[in-house]
Amino acid sequence: MSEKPKLKVLKEGDLEDKISVLVGTRPSIVKMGPIIKELEKKDINSFVIHAGQHYSYNMDREFFEDLDLKEPEYLVESTKECEYHGEQTAEMLKGIEKVLLNEKPKVILVCGDANFNLAGALAGRKLRIKVGHVEAGLRSNDWRMPEEHNRVMIDHISDYLFAPTEEAKENALKDNVKGEVFVTGNTIVDAVNQNLKIAEEKSQILEKLGLTEESYFVITAHREENVDSKRNLSKLIETIEKIGENHQSSKIVYPVHPRTRKRLKEFELADRAESIDKLNLMEPLGYLDFLKLLKNARLVLTDSGGIQEESCIMQVPCVTLRENTERPETVEVGSNIVAGLEPSEVLKATEEMLSRERNWKNPFGEGTAAENIVKITTQSLTYKNKG
């Protein structure tokens, strides 16, 4: 990836203004992928910045390949050694600001609640570039979560708030945001619709792991409130042990985030985890492999908001390993139970979700979110041929 790519050459009739799309983590690449493709499909002058919040071949670049996306024009690499939220956000803000000063887009699109989104939104606001917040209006109402700080602040400095559901729109309006709020659906539906068939055809992950449909559980946990605490991480390991005991015919697959693997070693829990029968602690997967793995699971236990959505869309039962969720729609339709981390509660929720019929309704739209977002965004842009 080049830090100083050649600028795109405008053709007669092209947009004179540019749109910047910001990514920085695997979920953001998945969710912004449909928007990037829609911009290319409509031949709209745009470029992508990778903010570098997470960056490794397995965790990011493979996602671009799986999703058939071009590599970002810009990569902010100065955040790898940052330990604290403020330091990381500041470094990303500096890097993103330099790109925006060079490219001078009319709009920057950010998605979600990670630190890089706040950095991108702040950089855009300070430079008087319009900010569009994809996935606006989500609320966990838990002010202990760094993600909650970020999503609220981004909403308040955004010009366009692209809410995935009516409930998210109401959250934003209750907060008295200044920008315009639009219900667009969630781009995760676009992504699943575009990529699930490809995953089913191309991915050999079940064969590689010796799995069959609905013969295994999937676990993902990486949020700092879960893995940066020895007490909470120990509870997670205990939960996995008990699930293994209660469901001895099922395997357990856990693609382990680097943050989690590091904490397992620091807290001297790695040996205990690795000794659990039928637990596969594996490296992070590419998107297509993970999508197929998730689609064919008996149940997923996760602290990821995006996976709560994906499992809901694909009719896979979900148990959320947190005390709250900013995706309450999944609970309302019956695809998800928010169980916390206490092993007894997680086990109870697991049995409840396994007993439910997989017939809930997808609350996140019909798969046209990217089209809606691009249409709204480009209404404010200037065409070269306009008089």
Of 183, 222, 221, residue with least CA distance to 363:
183
The reported pTM is: 0.90
Q: Do 364 and 313 form a contact (C-beta atoms < 8 A)?
A: yes
* pLDDT of the residue at 11: 39
pLDDT at 13 over 60: no
pLDDT digits (tens, 9 = 90+) for 262-304: 999 999 999 999 999 999 999 999 899 999 999 999 999 999 9
Residue indicated by tokens 């856990």: 254
Angle at Cα 335 formed by Cα 331 and Cα 337, nearest 5°? 50
Domains parsed from the chain with CATH numbers: 19-185+368-378 (3.40.50.2000), 193-355 (3.40.50.2000)
What amino acid occupies position 272? R
Determine how many CB atoms are found less than 10 A away from the CB of residue 143: 9
Long-range pairs of 360-363 with CB within 8 A, sequence gap ≥ 24: 360/312, 360/315, 360/333, 360/334, 360/335, 361/333, 362/189, 362/312, 362/313, 362/333, 363/165, 363/312, 363/329, 363/330, 363/332, 363/333
Of 279, 228, 231, 226, residue with least CA distance to 254:
279
pLDDT digits (tens, 9 = 90+) for 239-271: 999 999 999 999 999 999 888 999 999 999 999
**Measured in whole angstroms, how far is the alpha carbon of residue 108 from the centre of its chain?**
18
The CA distance from 197 to 203, in Å, is 10
Over range 98-126, report the average pLDDT: 96
- Helix/strand/coil (H/E/C) assignment for every residue in 144-212: CCHHHHHHHHHHHCCCEEEECCHHHHHHHHHCCCCCEEEECCCHHHHHHHHHHHHHHHHCCHHHHHCCC
Residue indicated by tokens 């309704």: 361
Two structure tokens written together for 374: 């691009």
Q: Give me the sheet containing 74-75, strands edge to edge.
A: 74-75, 46-50, 19-23, 107-111, 130-134, 160-163, 180-183
* pLDDT of the residue at 20: 98
Rg of the chain (C-alpha set): 21
Angle at Cα 19 formed by Cα 36 and Cα 156, nearest 5°? 100
Find the catalytic residue in 50, 54, 133, 222. Answer: 222
pLDDT digits (tens, 9 = 90+) for 326-364: 999 999 999 999 999 999 999 999 999 999 999 999 999
The CA distance from 232 to 234, in Å, is 5
pLDDT at 56 over 70: no
**Measured in whole angstroms, how far is the alpha carbon of residue 307 from the centre of its chain?**
8
pLDDT digits (tens, 9 = 90+) for 175-199: 999 999 999 999 999 999 999 999 9
Two structure tokens written together for 207: 């064969």
Question: What torsion do the CA atoms of 327, 331, 335, 340 make, to the nearest 10 degrees?
Answer: 80
222 is catalytic: yes
Q: Do 55 and 80 form a contact (C-beta atoms < 8 A)?
A: yes
pLDDT at 366 over 60: yes
* pLDDT of the residue at 386: 39
**Average per-residue pLDDT for the chain:** 91
* pLDDT of the residue at 1: 42
What amino acid occupies position 43? D
* pLDDT of the residue at 318: 98
Helical pair 287-295 and 187-202, crossing angle rounded to 10 deg: 90
pLDDT digits (tens, 9 = 90+) for 63-81: 888 899 988 999 987 666 6
Per the DSSP assignment, residues forming a β-bridge with 111 are 134
